[in-house]
Structure 1
């Protein structure tokens, strides 16, 4: 699976992948939450991370990750391609090439928690609020 850089030209497609993935896995978020997050991701969060993506042979993005300061800040996969190794490849790349050793996971997203545990992360802490101060608890995980 080929992993490559993603940049500003990819943002429209990345945000579509993000939204489809969030709708499939983050059932604790309301429509209002998603609407509030979308512009923040487009105008701030994408620019704050090193973005990598997996594309199919036609060039469509199947998934992406973003890493900043040794932390996997985002990892999203098109719902139809979950369970096909895209997320695993992106996580391994983040660990091996971008030196990620940490990730925060929404406590209400047990699939993500299980995925990161499978990838070798363990829970080392908890915050009762997410990064926007919303009551969506985060589990802090560290590799090893």
Structure 2
């Protein structure tokens, strides 16, 4: 059982740790240098923004999502919670506000790509590099709404 709420400054250390555990479990393709650089970027960025958090009955964060104008910039679920519907429930909450939700996924992250496609996202394009110009191709996705 989990609830979804907005983050506060008190949640940031836990959010960064979720990000780290999730990336370590799913992003083996990152070079150690890029992993360290991205960690520094995330650690600096999270405290500057508001995240959607899935929390357990004790209000402990289990997963995070970052939305920006109808685009899901980040969705990270603690690996101990994978397969429990937490990521899907965060996306369902996002779809209420953004029915044409878009996101990008690393092409090498086959599990995430399969997850997004299984819950209704379709491929709309591909980029050779990630948003910071690193050589990690992205698959661009859009949620297939009931209207088309």
Superposed CA offset, 1:27-79 (max 9, x none)? 1012222211112112235635x411111122221101010011010000110
Matched positions, count: 143
- Aligned equivalents of 2:119 and 2:47: distance in 1? 24
Unaligned ranges ≥5, structure 2: none
- Aligned equivalents of 2:140 and 2:24: distance in 1? 22
- Aligned equivalents of 2:128 and 2:108: distance in 1? 11
Q: Secondary structure at the match of 1:95?
A: helix
Aligned match of 2:72:
72
Q: Secondary structure at the match of 2:52?
A: strand
Residue pairs, 1:15-30, within 5 angstroms: 15-30=16-31
Normalised TM-score (structure 2): 0.89
Normalised TM-score (structure 1): 0.92
- Aligned equivalents of 1:81 and 1:100: distance in 2? 26
- Aligned equivalents of 1:8 and 1:98: distance in 2? 25
Q: Secondary structure at the match of 2:51?
A: strand
Shift of 1:124: 0.6
1:106 lines up with 2:111 in the alignment: no
Unaligned ranges ≥5, structure 1: none
8 Å CA contact 1:125, 1:141 repeated in 2: yes
Residue pairs, 1:51-66, within 5 angstroms: 51-66=51-66
- Aligned equivalents of 2:39 and 2:137: distance in 1? 20
